[in-house]
Structure 1
């Protein structure tokens, strides 16, 4: 078994809509398929059973390949908290935990996103190697979520996402 450690990524975003709308974007398949690990026109599967023990799945088809993301809901407290696992089995058996906390504000809401990233270690790694791997994994993961959160914001605030032309 590969040794791993956890790198924690925390991101915050504000939205000009009620917390309920952001929560729905994380849990309703019809919304997930527009922004989470996929785009509406490349999505093949979007399923979500948002209850403790329920599962979610996304399959995105790009450049002739299917990319599958799956997980299980651990905590479902609408509209303020969601905890679920995240795994892409075609790349790794490692599973991350993601926590989404949504705080209602006077105008809109604030989302705090936390991903506990399982970082695999290579044999003989030093503390410095592990620290560098944590920084690299966090940077790559944050970049992916950064673009997804731009789409999420457009979706909940305007009802649609302006996808970049390819």
Structure 2
């Protein structure tokens, strides 16, 4: 059995729209396919069965490969809380837990995002190796979400995402 440990990533973002609009962006397939792990023009599948025990799935096609992200909804409390599992089966059978909490503000809302990241250990790792891996995995995960959250913000506030040309 693979040895693992967990590190926690917490991120916060403010949006100039009501909490309902941000919650919908996390749960409606037609919106998910535009920002979450995908871009609309590379998305092959976006599904969301929004109920406790329901599942979600996204398949993105890039550089000749399919990248699949899947999970199950554990808590659904519109428009303020969503808890779900996240895994990419092509890379690992491990599931992370993600909690999205959306707090209405006088104007707009604030999203708190928490991901419990499963970190796979290599044989013979020391405590320092594990600590470094936690920081590395957290940093890489945060970078990915940072870019997705830029798209999410633009999408909910303007109705579209302008993708940079790389």
User: Does the alignment reach a TM-score above 0.5?
Assistant: yes
CA distance in 2, matches of 1:123, 1:63: 32
SS of 1:79's partner is coil
Residue of structure 1 in register with 2:7 after alignment: 7
Please show how residues 8-157 of structure 1 align to structure 2 within 5 Å. Answer: 8-157=8-157
CA distance in 2, matches of 1:28, 1:164: 24
Unaligned runs of 5+ in 2: none
CA distance in 2, matches of 1:49, 1:12: 26
SS of 2:122's partner is coil
CA distance in 2, matches of 1:152, 1:57: 18
Relative to the length of structure 1, the TM-score reads 0.99
- 1:164 correspondence with 2:164: yes
Unaligned runs of 5+ in 1: none
Relative to the length of structure 2, the TM-score reads 0.99
CA distance in 2, matches of 1:44, 1:163: 18
Deviation at 1:165, TM superposition (A): 1.9
CA distance in 2, matches of 1:141, 1:23: 21
Deviation at 1:124, TM superposition (A): 1.1
CA distance in 1, matches of 2:138, 2:125: 18
Deviations 1:88-137 (A, max 9, x none): 00001111000000000000000000000000111111110000000000
Deviation at 1:164, TM superposition (A): 1.4
Deviations 1:57-89 (A, max 9, x none): 000000000000000000000000000000000
Deviations 1:1-56 (A, max 9, x none): 11110010000000000000000000000000000000000000000011100000
Give me the CA root mean square deviation: 0.5
CA distance in 2, matches of 1:26, 1:4: 28
